[in-house]
Amino acid sequence: MNTMTNNTATTTPVLHAAGVTMRFGGLTAVRNVELTVNSGEIVGLIGPNGAGKTTFFNCLTGLYIPTEGTVSYKGAVLPHKSHLVTQAGIARTFQNIRLFANMTVLENVLVGRHTRTKEGLWSALLRSPGFKKAERESEERAMELLEFTGLAAKRDHLARNLPYGEQRKLEIARALASEPGLLLLDEPTAGMNPQETRTTQDLVFAIRDQGIAVLVIEHDMRFIFNLCDRVAVLVQGEKLVEGTSEVVQGDERVVAAYLGTPYEGAPGADEVAEVEDAEAHSTPGTSGSSGTEGENQ
Ligand SMILES: Nc1ncnc2c1ncn2[C@@H]1O[C@H](COP(=O)(O)OP(=O)(O)OP(=O)(O)O)[C@@H](O)[C@H]1O
Ligand SMILES: [Mg+2]
């Protein structure tokens, strides 16, 4: 499957973001980002804290309306409504886990299926034969997904009682319940121990092998470089580099961006130089260092 991605003449990209820009007042969180994900691919999106990765996901999934640019799924431009984006075939997980804490594991996955079941309100209220059949099928599929993510034994546990790592997996199971063609994962291994991270890596490979393309944000570089066919690096809202793990690891601008060292032509480098220059001139002898960033959210 992975080897088919060279067949460029016939493949329509699963996802194509064209010139996506997102401004919040005076802040440009995402600037003119171009990104393609093809079928069979796992693509990574990395960058320092505040680089705009989650904002970009929010633009892709209809949560934000980009200030400029368009997002297409399998060749069709997506509407700016998250439920329509889900219906089109894009599912996601959230950096800050969003489960129904007081529902069971199984119920959480069933909620994820509602975009794919056509039984309507009256059918549900009247508990028609059609509704019961659909309900049975939904439950079967939800259980398959719980098996797939290793959570079947916990089906009746309340989501809030799951350990953190399993809550992240449940988010993945719930996202898969909408039967997506593209899965967006926002920091799927945050807070996981190394063992859980490894099983998540295997899970993402298994998802890809089922024909679902994956775009994943993560700060764990070992995880990203093991997993991804391609990696894009966002720095201050701009795509700095994109390429294979080897290309990205070998690019000194990426290292500089993570260390906060300005490099020639870096986004914001002029402003940084100006501020440093002003500081140097205003208070000689009391220079404090700046530019550190928090690690977690
Ligand atoms: N709704 C919003 N309103 C105003 N500013 C926002 C909003 N959402 C994000 N931002 C700003 O946009 C920038 C990018 O934030 P974003 O959360 O996308 O970064 P990130 O790359 O996901 O960072 P992290 O790795 O820490 O999750 C930050 O400066 C953030 O404060
Ligand atoms: Mg984020």
Q: Say what the pLDDT of residue 114 is.
A: 76
218: left (phi over 0), alpha (psi -120 to 50) or beta: beta
Q: Say what the pLDDT of residue 279 is.
A: 76
The pTM (predicted TM-score) of the whole model is 0.84
Residues 134/119, Cβ–Cβ less than 8 Å: yes
- Testing ligand 1's pocket by substitution, the residue of 33, 53, 64 carrying the most ligand atoms inside 8 A of its CB is 53
* End-to-end alpha carbon distance in the chain: 35
- Comparing C-alpha atoms, which of 93, 97, 32 is closest to residue 66? 32
Residues 235/267, Cβ–Cβ less than 8 Å: yes
> How many other C-beta atoms are found inside a 10 Å radius of the C-beta of residue 129?
9
CA–centroid distance, 49 to ligand 1, in Å, is 8
Ligand number nearest to the C-alpha of 297:
1
- Closest residue to atom 17 of ligand 1, CA basis: 54
The structure tokens 């000689």 sit at 284
Q: Which helix (H) or strand (E) holds 123?
A: helix 121-126
> How many other C-beta atoms are found inside a 10 Å radius of the C-beta of residue 64?
19
Q: What is the chain's pLDDT, residue by residue, as a tens digit (297 residues)?
A: 444 444 445 577 999 999 999 999 999 999 999 999 999 999 999 999 999 999 999 999 999 999 999 999 999 999 999 999 999 999 999 999 899 999 999 999 998 887 766 666 666 667 777 777 878 888 999 999 999 999 999 999 999 999 999 999 999 999 999 999 999 999 999 989 999 999 999 999 999 999 999 999 999 999 999 999 999 999 999 999 999 999 999 998 888 888 766 556 666 666 667 777 777 777 554 444 443 333 334
CA–centroid distance, 186 to ligand 2, in Å, is 7
CA–centroid distance, 223 to ligand 2, in Å, is 16
Q: Say what the pLDDT of residue 294 is.
A: 38
CA–centroid distance, 53 to ligand 2, in Å, is 5
β-partners of residue 68 are 21
How far is it, in rounded angstroms, from Cα 14 to Cα 38? Answer: 5
In short, whether 24's Cβ falls inside 6 Å of ligand 1 is yes
In short, whether 100's Cβ falls inside 6 Å of ligand 1 is no
Give me the residues near ligand 2 (ion), CB cutoff below 5 Å: 53-54, 95
CA–centroid distance, 91 to ligand 1, in Å, is 20
Q: Say what the pLDDT of residue 161 is.
A: 96
Q: Measure the CA angle with vertex 35, ends 247 and 173; round to 5°.
A: 95
Q: Say what the pLDDT of residue 125 is.
A: 66
Query: Which atom of ligand 1 is found nearest the CA of 48?
Result: 25
131: left (phi over 0), alpha (psi -120 to 50) or beta: alpha
How far is it, in rounded angstroms, from Cα 169 to Cα 108? Answer: 12
- Closest residue to atom 30 of ligand 1, CA basis: 50
> How many other C-beta atoms are found inside a 10 Å radius of the C-beta of residue 25?
5
Which residues have C-beta within 8 Å of that of residue 114, sequence separation ≥ 6? none
Ligand number nearest to the C-alpha of 59:
1
Structure tokens at 176: 């898969």
Q: Say what the pLDDT of residue 129 is.
A: 78
Structure tokens at 226: 């093991």
Q: Say what the pLDDT of residue 121 is.
A: 61
